[in-house]
Amino acid sequence: MKVMVIQGPNLNMLGIREQQIYGAMKLEEIHTQMKAFADANGMEIEFFQSNLEGELVDKIQECLGEADGIIINAGAYTHTSIAIRDAIAAVQLPTIEVHLSNVYRREEFRQKSMIAPVCAGVITGFGPFSYHLAMVAMNQIFQEIKAIKAQQQQQQQA
């Protein structure tokens, strides 16, 4: 099964920007760790990052028929983008929202997610480990989907 990891604005600046909030690890290092987890668990993984809202919407839509699940850190668009929310809802793929920082310990405007209601779950506040937790959660979702499909096939054969 394939997971698409979508990274929003300013995440390309990880390791440089506000290290006291986001840490010193670069995005490429996070992706390397995610790829290792995917390989160890028989998952395919692809990465995409953009600072542009429309490109994020396009990538989410492209996941339809190309991916089995999405892990997304929409960055600041998390709090403002109805377009990203609508794209996630439209593709109907299991989606996990991820944040490095604990958004509930930050500014009030960061405490409201537009996309959380259309996601399977939200992982926030564990730094780069948030992405590992998202991979564990997505793997679990994939295992549940496989089990349901196997059960449906057994019922059809009976």
The active-site residue, picked from 22, 31, 77, 104, is 22
Long-range contacts of 131-136 (CB under 8 A, 24+ apart): 131/5, 131/30, 131/33, 131/34, 131/71, 131/98, 132/33, 132/34, 132/37, 134/71, 134/96, 134/98, 135/3, 135/34, 135/37, 135/38, 135/41, 135/43, 135/71, 136/37
Active site residue 22: yes
Active site residue 99: yes
The active-site residue, picked from 31, 99, 131, 132, is 99
Which residues form the catalytic set?
Answer: 22, 99
